[in-house]
Structure 1
């Protein structure tokens, strides 16, 4: 079932939050520092639906995840790197950026034509090998 682009990324942020909480519960991070970080992360989750333009705050938070919690960097959803953009793109190879640019173009085209767009389905279609049939 297609969801809005913002809702898709909010769901990914919620998944990342659960991972960060589990990391804290496993006592793999400094409690005080982690608690403050989680407070800021929760503020981002609360403000983003109201003010989607505040993506720069999320950009900072995602970059901090990579620096503060390198042990889970490989688990950060790649879609979030693209969604927040800016410095987050430094964690993506050029080929991956090209894939996400194509996805965004397809999303904008669907929006212009007032058609539904399923981000995950389209991403899977783009990830198919070149000799597979794509639409």
Structure 2
């Protein structure tokens, strides 16, 4: 059975982003972001996301899209994996070629689930994206 959980990994990435944004505010390195409620809203969403609340998932998609649209300089803080795992409007921030690679990665994950094999998302992504081709 695969040990990878998209749900758990998405939560991990959201918690990490929340922490990074909090540190950014503490450091006062981007004053125009300090008064923005996005970090607080993300923190408030985390418990609902842990409960697999679909409305919270949609709100998280919107929040990440707002973050990227309003603070493009913070885009490097947002994991590409997070954009993919949130889906929805977050996919608009990914070029088509990258979406295609993530679709291939998702297929590999689904194959591992069906065949009851272990799956390492990060290692598979790295191999797939660096190799620019499909893994078998």
TM bracket, shorter-chain basis: 0.7 to 0.9
Q: Which residue of 1 aligns with 2:125?
A: 123
Is 2:96 the partner of 1:94? yes
Q: Quick one: distance in 2 between partners of 1:19 and 1:32?
A: 13
Tell me how many residue pairs correspond in the alignment: 133
Superposition CA RMSD, Å: 2.4
Q: Which residue of 2 aligns with 1:70?
A: 72
Q: Which residue of 1 aligns with 2:47?
A: 46
1:111 deviates by: 1.5
Q: Which runs of 4+ in 1 moved over 6 A?
A: none
Q: Quick one: distance in 1 between partners of 2:127 and 2:77?
A: 22
Q: Quick one: distance in 2 between partners of 1:12 and 1:42?
A: 13
Q: Which residue of 2 aligns with 1:104?
A: 106
Q: Give the gaps of 5 or more residues in structure 1.
A: none
- Quick one: higher RCO (CA 8 Å, sep 6+), 1 or 2? 2
Q: Which residue of 1 aligns with 2:20?
A: 19
Q: Quick one: distance in 1 between partners of 2:61 and 2:7?
A: 15
Q: Which residue of 2 aligns with 1:37?
A: 38
Retained in 1: the 8 A contact 2:84–2:102?
yes
TM-score (norm 2): 0.83
1:38 deviates by: 2.3
Q: Quick one: distance in 2 between partners of 1:53 and 1:72?
A: 26
